[in-house]
């Protein structure tokens, strides 16, 4: 399929509509791992829009804390854990590190490694072992679980969080709307759209 880039950046309102439509299109593949791969990739892109530059680790984490609904940053694991990003210095401990776990497990683990088991380096930097469990709506109904609910299934899964694909997509749409509603972010969004315009149309 030929991919054509629009010569000028997409207007703010059209860019928002485009992103929402792309996220909603993932509902056609609900129940597959690709919903999560695409959602994690979209988070990376949204983080870049929010700063007007390529997103790094802290930008990804900050985007989740600033633009996803508060349930993400407020989620508490059962056990205290080394605060992510502090390397081998065990000076800070936390239970509220889901945004960091989303970076390590979804962005690094799933997108780049097709796995939810962290590497030794990711563990050293603050990743938790199997800290996120990905599921479909059908799984959630069978398991009688809800999105962002604590989850354990010993012996492999201990102190995890239950993710439901369709609820994650709902929250991504809300995050897009939250980002674009902040007019102070518009110059940075426009800058990024100019530098890296969407593939248009598909």
pLDDT digits (tens, 9 = 90+) for 1-33: 444 444 455 789 999 999 999 999 999 999 999
- pLDDT, one tens digit per residue, over 27-52 is 999 999 999 999 999 999 999 999 99
Q: pTM of the full predicted structure?
A: 0.90
Residue 90: the pLDDT is 52
For the chain, strand residue ranges (E) read 81-82, 93-94, 132-135, 149-153, 157-164
What is the DSSP code (8-state) at residue 127? Answer: P
The two tokens of residue 135 are: 């599921």
For residues 118 and 134, the answer to whether their CB atoms sit within 8 Å is no
Task: Name which of 87, 93, 117, 121 is nearest 105 in CA terms.
Answer: 117
Dmax (CA) for the chain in angstroms is: 54
CA 69, 71, 74 angle in degrees (round to 5)?
120
Using alpha carbons, select from 111, 132, 129, 149 the residue that is nearest to residue 34.
Answer: 111
């Amino acid at each position: 399929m030929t991919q054509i880039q629009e010569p000028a950046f997409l207007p703010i309102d059209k860019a928002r509509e485009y992103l929402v439509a792309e996220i909603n299109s993932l509902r056609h593949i609900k129940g597959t791992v690709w919903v999560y791969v695409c959602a994690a990739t979209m988070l990376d892109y949204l983080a870049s829009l929010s700063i007007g530059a390529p997103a790094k680790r802290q930008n990804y984490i900050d985007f989740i804390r600033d633009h996803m609904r508060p349930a993400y940053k407020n989620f508490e694991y059962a056990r205290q854990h080394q605060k992510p990003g502090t390397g081998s210095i065990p000076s800070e401990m936390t239970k509220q590190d889901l945004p960091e776990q989303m970076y390590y497990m979804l962005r690094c683990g799933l997108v780049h490694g097709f796995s939810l088991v962290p590497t030794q380096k990711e563990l050293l930097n603050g990743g938790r072992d199997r800290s996120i469990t990905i599921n479909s709506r059908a799984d959630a109904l069978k398991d009688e679980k809800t999105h962002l609910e604590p989850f354990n299934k010993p012996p492999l899964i201990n102190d995890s969080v239950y993710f439901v694909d369709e609820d994650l997509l709902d929250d991504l749409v809300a995050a897009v709307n939250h980002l674009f509603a902040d007019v102070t972010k518009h110059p940075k969004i426009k800058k990024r759209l100019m530098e890296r315009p969407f593939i248009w149309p598909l």
